[in-house]
Amino acid sequence: MAKDKKLVEAITSMEEDFAQWYTDVVKKAELIDYTSVKGCMVIKPAGYAIWENIQRELDRRFKETGVENVYLPMFIPESLLQKEKDHVEGFAPEVAWVTHGGLTPLQERMCVRPTSETLFCDFYKNDIQSYRDLPKVYNQWCSVVRWEKETRPFLRSREFLWQEGHTAHATEEEAEARTQQMLNLYADFCEEFLAMPVVRGRKTDKEKFAGAVATYTIEALMHDGKALQSGTSHNFGDGFARAFGIQFTDKDNKLQYVHQTSWGMTTRLIGAIIMVHGDDSGLVLPPRVAPVQAMVIPVQQHKEGVLAKAAEVRDALAAAGLRVKLDDTDKSPGWKFSEQEMRGIPIRVELGPKDIENNRCVIVRRDTREKLEVALEDAAAKAAELMDVIQKDMFERARAHRDSHITDVKTYDEFRDAVEHKPGFIRAMWCGDEACEIKIKEDTTATSRCMPFVQEEISDTCVCCGRAAHKLVYWGKAY
């Protein structure tokens, strides 16, 4: 039992130190490892398998809307990066520069892509000639590099994996519709697949993407009450098209600029899953995204017939469509339980000689720790049913947590008090003046997260300056 306890004791409790708890979980659940390259990590099999599930599901949803995948180079020549003024200002300070190819200095240095708007524009400039070539709805899965000073696994690393969609359209309306379509796709994905409720809204001008006309965002609330921007979708209008000269001949044979969008989601989502659903025993994975959904753990497996029966149960669950494994290693059952909990596997099936005698097994839910005695012949059906139940319950619990951590405030005193004493989202009216946004950030460290699509008037004056205000904003401390 000493070994079993050690595994559990090694995690700091969430209440004690949330940041340390997070770091402990990513390491102990074997999601990542650190490397010799500061700010870059190894994504280990347990972590990468989560990303593969995210990819597969997102990619499927993308393709249903007509998205096609492509691959563009990882390098951006400096002159290309500089073509759109706001964009270069936003990214140049944090890119990695390549200056030599082999032993030879490059004539022009190149950065490793921090994002690929400029490359897609350079490509579209040649690829788009006529209205018949539109729309272009392309996406790529790749890694990008941003030379951040402070890094944390999944949440902020110098290299991270993501997808970036880049589209070009004939009209402003079509670009706007695609921007919102992808934002809603992201939101639905988070809620349905990751069991993670999000607020859908628009970023203020101050917080929008470098070069965008409008940025839409989904914001999730972590267990510690901080917000996490979980996906963004940008409408560029024709700004990039004008900077890069991306024109097409319309049906009336007139030259027009295209309207563009881009949208992305990253491995940061894995950080979100951890911080929304995790507990003091480790990771808790929603069944849909869990690489392993059920672990069969035999008790007294050296006794005759136990392993064989455990394998039968595993096969029955697999036949019912579950991703299931059997832990027949020589570790103690208690150790195996701890590992299954640490890794966030949604259920375990315990099975010993007595259970077999009584033709039953015990299913333990990871999320609630509830134990269910189930007849062996019902195990597979029950496990399959639990996948849906757990997925739904996890979403409802996360939503209840989120909703109980929203504070509506009308005055600046209330705002300051909420930032200090009530972790979570703060909802307050805003006049629209960037000066108020800056003041709030300086005074409280809270930032505007988004102007939600669903607007309400909880007061008629700006929480900061007291002038007339008609915009409801979600504020919060953020990752």
Residues making contact with its own copies (CB under 8 A): 33, 35-37, 40-45, 48-49, 51-52, 68-77, 80, 92-103, 110, 112, 119, 122-123, 126-127, 138, 142-143, 145, 147, 158-159, 161
Contacts 24+ apart (CB under 8 A), 374-378: 376/309, 376/313
CB of 15 to its own copies, least distance (A): 30
**Closer residue to its own copies in complex, CB, 45/466:** 45
CB count within 10 Å of CB 396 equals: 12
CA distance 249 to 262: 23
CB of 364 to its own copies, least distance (A): 26
**Closer residue to its own copies in complex, CB, 45/305:** 45
CA distance 107 to 373: 71
Assign 39 to helix, strand or coil: coil
CA distance 255 to 247: 6
CB of 195 to its own copies, least distance (A): 24
**Closer residue to its own copies in complex, CB, 53/229:** 53
CB of 106 to its own copies, least distance (A): 9
**Closer residue to its own copies in complex, CB, 97/308:** 97
**Closer residue to its own copies in complex, CB, 14/31:** 31
Q: Taking Cα atoms as reference points, which of 217, 220, 216, 240 lies closest to residue 228? A: 220
Burial of 386 (0-12, 13-18, 19+ CB in 10 A): buried
CB of 101 to its own copies, least distance (A): 4
CB of 51 to its own copies, least distance (A): 8
CB count within 10 Å of CB 319 equals: 10
CB of 69 to its own copies, least distance (A): 5
Assign 208 to helix, strand or coil: coil
CA distance 386 to 383: 5
CA distance 327 to 2: 20
